[in-house]
Structure formats: C-alpha cells, structure tokens
C-alpha cells in the first residue's frame, strides 16, 4: 500500500476509481506442519500491509507465549486462529484469509497438510483457481507433496505454484532448487499435471515473496506475489456451454414469474431457445434481470458466468428449483441415474457399499446409494486397490446410483454441474464430495419415450420445412 499512500492522501476519489476494478483470485496453500505455511500467509498479509498495529501487538504478545521464533515475531500466529489449535501449535481446519494488491484481491484458503486432513484440502481446493504448494528446500519433494499435487489436481485446479521454502536454510543454493524441480516432475507428469511454476522463497525472511531476493541472483523468475498477480483468472469461466441451475422461483405477484440462480457456465441472451432438464421441455428467454434495487429493474440483453440473475421465459413452462436451464444450441448434459465419480470421503463414519445418502448437486437434492467402489486410490503412491468401504480422507473411484434420473456434466467440463456432496440422512453431516468423471448410460426402460403417431411425425416434418425460424426439433432427435 505504501506506493499508493500518496494517491490515497492526495486524491482518494481517483484511488477508489482505480480500485473499483480489481480482479479476484482464490487460491489455496498446501503444506505440512513444518513447511512454514502459516508463516508464508502471515508474510503475505504483512508484506501487503494487511496487518494493523493492534493485531501486530497482539501477535507480538502471543509470540512470547506460543511463538517458535524466539524473540522474533512469529508471523504464523497471525493466521493460526482458534485457541485449541494454538495450543497444539497447528492449524486444524480450513481458514480463509484476505489480502489485496493494486491489481487483485486474493482469497486464500489456508488448509492443513496432515494426512488426516485431506478433506480440508479438498474443501479449500473446491473453490480455488490456483494452488501454492510448499516444499521444504531441505527435505525436497516428499510423499505429502505428491498428495497435495494429486488432491488439488483432482479438484480441478490447473494453476500450480511450487514454492520451495526455507531457501535460507540451504544457503540459497541454485542446484538444490533445480534438483527439487526434477524430483517434482518425475511424479507430476504421470498425474497429468502439465504446468507448474517453481519459485525459491523464504517466508521467514521474505525472500522472493513481495520483493526480489538479493541472495538468489541465479533466479530470474517472478516473486510469489507477482506470480499470483499474473495467473490467468478465466479458468473457472471458460466452459462454453450455458448452464443455469434454478435456485429459486421468484413470484412476488401475479404479474411476475422469474427463475433465479447463478450462471455456472457460458452465456445466455434474450431470445435464446432453452431446454429444461430433466423434463426436456423447451422455451425461450424473454428477459434477463440483473440484481437491482426496486423500483429500478435492470433488464439486460446478455448475461454470462458468474452472474446471479433472474431469467424470465416466454412460455408458462413448469420449472422448479433444482431444474437446469440449458441453451438448446449448446452441448446438452447427459441424463442418467448412474455416474462414475472421484469420491473424497470426509467423515469418520466410513462409506459402505449399498449405503443410502442424500445427494446435493447444484440446487437439487435427491436420494441415492453408493453402488460400488471401483478402486481405492492411495493418495501417496497413487496405487489402486480394491475396497469395500472408504475411510475418512480416502479417495476412490466409485459408482453412485441416483433414485431419480438427473442431468450431469463431467467435472472437467463444469465444476458446479459436475460435482455433488453426500449427506448422511440420519446425522445430516456432509460425509462425501464427488466429482463426476463419467455419466453411465441409463437403462433404457427408465425413461420411456413418448410414441408419436404418423400424423404427428408428418406435422413435425411440415413445420420444420416451412417454419425453420421456429427452430422446432426433429422427432428423431427427441428419441435419441
């Protein structure tokens, strides 16, 4: 903020104008207890001037009681929030931290690296577009580095920064840094990880965090903060096919009926033909309403991901919460009772084959069961084995059966419509998180098609021939 203080002092309105248009990047940090993760986040907050004097004073006080840095301020204490975990000296859950530069606001999911806390990492990764994975320069790539990379990759994060920390303890050695890169790629490539950015840092001393390190002239890349400012943001937004899960039917009076929700992918314009899933009904978009303060109503022509809007249709079709609105011209989702998923187990009660769960995907809930566990994946070695139950923090490829046929996308295509959570129907705890890898073909008897008479088939052909602007679908297509 220092460089800006002049502008803040001289012309606050100009400063505000400049800062209205910041971007937002969410990332997660992964590291083990001793990798210096909390110190790194404390350092980022400190270096971007997010720490106020009273907070610093309180941390200085606490450093004397709980700190691990002797007389120095323990920056880790800035982020280790809860009393219980302070006493244990570790972070025990997912915490969210915030800092900003001139260009971006950052939301950091601070997640622990303990083996038993894979679930927390999955939680933090689920909303992040990037991951910073910490490696201790002294120990190099460890089993946990593999685990962190695997879990973040599984959760769909495509931007990885490998922060090689504690360079001060290996004499800022370039060769050590190169070795670690080589070690990393040996296991990362088979995982399908295509790119990762390596940065040698010291969170404790601040080297290559906000400012370039004078001790590592051999390194010509970005500092960590620069790298975070430059990562592409559009990763979450680049799915082309329009997807909108109806969240709430807005019917304040007899004159208005709209469908509120958040666009999870693609774009929609007034006049577009849409198909409702799972019913298959079709209609058109009559109006798109941006959130606004009444009596002002903001009708817009086009809306895109990630907007929260209200859509009005041209016809009175039956649409309710949980249904999807899909642009008819886009690739359509697959409708099925059965999906293959990557399943992360989050609860102490193990997952049992045949067990029934409440499943929540986007805005819809239905019951279903864990049909089978195809393979248990060892998060450390990535070796697959068979299993008939799944313990907390374990990850498996599994088959889940839904009581009702449901539209799905693959998680790789859409993180919202391709994911769901499993809820224990008795305890109501969130017990699992699933990412769709494949929609299994449904048994044909489940979705009986309407039989069309020869007359109806002729009528359809006639309409399609003479009124192409109606965009009527062919009966043959409907039966596919």
Q: Which of residues 213-242 bind other proteins (CB under 8 A)?
A: 234, 237-238, 240
Q: Which of residues 97-156 bind other proteins (CB under 8 A)?
A: 97-98, 100, 104-105, 107, 110, 119-120, 122-123, 126-127
How far is residue 414's CA from residue 264's CA, in Å, rounded to a whole number? 8
How far is residue 114's CA from residue 120's CA, in Å, rounded to a whole number? 10
Nearer Cβ to other proteins, position 320 or 447? 320
SS3 of residue 469 by DSSP: helix
Per CB under 8 A, the list member of 270, 300, 307, 410 interacting with other proteins is 307
Q: Which of residues 314-373 bind other proteins (CB under 8 A)?
A: 321, 346, 358, 360-363
Q: Residues touching other proteins: how many (CB under 8 A)?
A: 91
Q: Of 52-60, 137-145, 271-279, 394-402, which part binds other proteins (CB under 8 A)?
A: 52-60
In the complex, least distance from residue 339 CB atom to other proteins, rounded to whole angstroms: 16
Asked if 469 touches other proteins (CB under 8 A), the answer is no
Q: Which of residues 411-430 bind other proteins (CB under 8 A)?
A: 415-416, 419-421, 423, 428-430
Report, in angstroms and rounded to the nearest whole number, the Rg of the chain calculated over CA atoms.
26
H helices present in 160-275, as ranges? 174-191, 224-230
In the complex, least distance from residue 158 CB atom to other proteins, rounded to whole angstroms: 15
Asked if 287 touches other proteins (CB under 8 A), the answer is no
H helices present in 162-299, as ranges? 174-191, 224-230
Residues 6 or more apart in contact with residue 150 via CB below 8 angstroms: 191, 379, 382
At 124, list the tokens.
């933090």
Per CB under 8 A, the list member of 9, 315, 316, 477 interacting with other proteins is 9
Q: Of 81-89, 163-171, 204-212, 455-463, which part binds other proteins (CB under 8 A)?
A: 81-89
Residues 6 or more apart in contact with residue 264 via CB below 8 angstroms: 239, 243, 244, 245, 305, 306, 362, 414, 415, 416, 417
- Cβ atoms of residues 215 and 177 within 8 Å: no
Q: Of 185-193, 223-231, 271-279, 303-311, which part binds other proteins (CB under 8 A)?
A: 303-311
Asked if 479 touches other proteins (CB under 8 A), the answer is no
The label of the residue with tokens 């959570």 reads: 421
How far is residue 292's CA from residue 422's CA, in Å, rounded to a whole number? 35
Q: Of 162-170, 287-295, 442-450, 464-472, which part binds other proteins (CB under 8 A)?
A: 287-295
In the complex, least distance from residue 393 CB atom to other proteins, rounded to whole angstroms: 11
Nearer Cβ to other proteins, position 120 or 334? 120
* C-alpha distances in Å from residue 251, one per residue of 248, 268, 444: 9, 21, 37
H helices present in 11-135, as ranges? 12-19, 37-47, 53-66, 83-88, 118-126
Q: What are the backbone dihedrals phi and psi of residue 313, each rounded to the nearest 5 degrees, phi first?
A: -100, 160
At 40, list the tokens.
């790194």
Asked if 260 touches other proteins (CB under 8 A), the answer is yes
Residues 6 or more apart in contact with residue 135 via CB below 8 angstroms: 35, 141, 142, 145, 162, 163, 164, 165, 180, 184
Asked if 266 touches other proteins (CB under 8 A), the answer is yes
Nearer Cβ to other proteins, position 105 or 176? 105
In the complex, least distance from residue 471 CB atom to other proteins, rounded to whole angstroms: 22
In the complex, least distance from residue 402 CB atom to other proteins, rounded to whole angstroms: 15
């Amino acid at each position: 903020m220092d460089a800006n203080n002049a502008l803040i002092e001289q012309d606050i309105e100009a400063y505000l104008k400049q800062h209205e248009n910041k971007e937002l990047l969410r990332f997660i940090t992964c590291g083990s207890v001793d990798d210096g993760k909390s110190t790194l986040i404390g350092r980022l907050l400190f270096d971007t001037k997010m720490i106020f004097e009273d907070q610093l004073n309180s941390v200085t006080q606490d450093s004397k009681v709980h700190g691990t840095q002797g007389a120095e301020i323990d920056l880790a204490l800035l982020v280790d929030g809860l009393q219980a975990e302070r006493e244990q000296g570790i972070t025990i859950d997912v915490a969210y931290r915030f800092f900003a530069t001139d260009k971006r606001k950052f939301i950091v999911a601070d997640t622990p690296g303990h083996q038993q806390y894979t679930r927390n990492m999955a939680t933090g990764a689920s909303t992040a577009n990037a991951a910073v994975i910490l490696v201790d320069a002294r120990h190099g790539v460890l089993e946990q580095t593999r685990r962190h990379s695997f879990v973040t990759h599984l959760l769909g994060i495509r931007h990885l920064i490998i922060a090689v920390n504690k360079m001060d303890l290996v004499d800022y050695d370039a060769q050590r840094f190169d070795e670690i890169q080589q070690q990393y790629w040996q296991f990362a490539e088979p995982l399908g990880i295509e790119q990762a950015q390596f940065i040698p840092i010291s969170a404790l001393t601040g080297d290559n965090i906000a400012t370039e390190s004078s001790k590592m002239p051999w390194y010509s890349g970005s500092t960590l903060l620069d790298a975070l400012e430059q990562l592409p943001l559009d990763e979450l937004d680049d799915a082309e096919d329009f997807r909108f899960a109806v969240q709430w039917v807005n019917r304040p009076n007899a004159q208005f009926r709209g469908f509120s929700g958040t666009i999870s992918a693609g774009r929609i314009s007034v006049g577009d033909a849409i198909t409702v899933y799972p019913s298959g009904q079709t209609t058109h978009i009559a109006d798109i309403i941006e959130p606004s303060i009444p009596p002002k109503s903001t009708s817009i022509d086009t809306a895109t991901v990630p907007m929260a809007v209200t859509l009005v249709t041209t016809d009175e079709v039956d649409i309710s919460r949980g249904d999807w609105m899909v642009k008819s011209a886009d690739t359509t989702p697959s409708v099925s009772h059965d999906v293959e998923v990557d399943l992360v187990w989050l609860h102490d009660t193990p997952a049992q084959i045949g067990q029934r769960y409440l499943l929540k995907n986007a805005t819809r809930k239905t019951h279903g069961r864990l049909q089978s566990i195809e393979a248990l994946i060892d998060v450390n070695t990535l070796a697959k084995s068979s299993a008939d139950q799944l313990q907390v923090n374990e990850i498996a490829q599994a088959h889940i059966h839904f009581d009702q046929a449901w539209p799905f996308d693959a998680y790789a295509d859409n993180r919202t419509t391709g994911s769901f959570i499993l809820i224990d129907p008795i305890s109501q705890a969130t017990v699992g998180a699933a990412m769709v890898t494949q929609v299994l073909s449904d048994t044909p008897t489940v979705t009986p098609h309407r039989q069309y008479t020869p007359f109806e088939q002729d009528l359809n052909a006639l309409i399609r021939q003479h009124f192409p602007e109606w965009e009527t679908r062919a009966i043959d297509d409907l039966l596919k």
